[in-house]
């Protein structure tokens, strides 16, 4: 019971800080607050587009049935970015989508 009460307080405080737009001299306290509670404050890393496309190809080469969300996390991008990137890779002939399976074509 105590744990769930604390979680509720944490959620309330996070919502409060978000709604108040708590900014101090251009520095947002939200990432600090989230890190204190063990929550990620955003993407772990952001890669260059070409590097992310290559990593995405490697990911689906190793995990042909991997989800777009998992793929996005593995390359530091969003699920919607993965969808667009796969469109581009398929147009360039580097991957082929077959339902939920992503086939990486030879030559990459």
Categorize the per-residue pLDDT at 31 as very low, low, confident or very high, splitting at 50, 70 and 90.
Answer: low
Query: Which range is least confidently modeled, 10-24, 27-41, 69-83, 94-108?
Result: 27-41
pLDDT (0 to 100) of residue 48: 87
Give the SS3 label for residue 100: coil
How would residue 23 be classed by pLDDT, with cut points 50, 70 and 90?
Answer: very low
Residue in this structure with the two tokens 């919502």, named with its chain if needed: 15
pTM of the model: 0.56
- What pLDDT, in 10s, does the model give residues 46-96? 568 889 999 999 999 999 999 999 999 999 899 999 999 999 999 999 999
């Amino acid at each position: 019971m105590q744990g769930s009460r604390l979680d509720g307080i944490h959620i309330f405080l996070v919502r409060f800080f978000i709604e108040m737009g708590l900014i101090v001299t251009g520095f947002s306290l939200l990432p600090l607050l989230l890190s204190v509670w063990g929550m990620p404050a955003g993407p772990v890393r952001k890669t260059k587009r070409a590097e992310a496309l290559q990593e995405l190809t490697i990911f689906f080469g190793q995990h042909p049935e991997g989800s777009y969300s998992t793929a996005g996390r593995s390359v530091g991008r969003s699920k919607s970015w993965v969808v667009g990137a796969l469109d581009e890779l398929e147009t360039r002939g580097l991957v082929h989508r077959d339902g939920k399976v992503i086939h990486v074509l030879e030559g990459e």
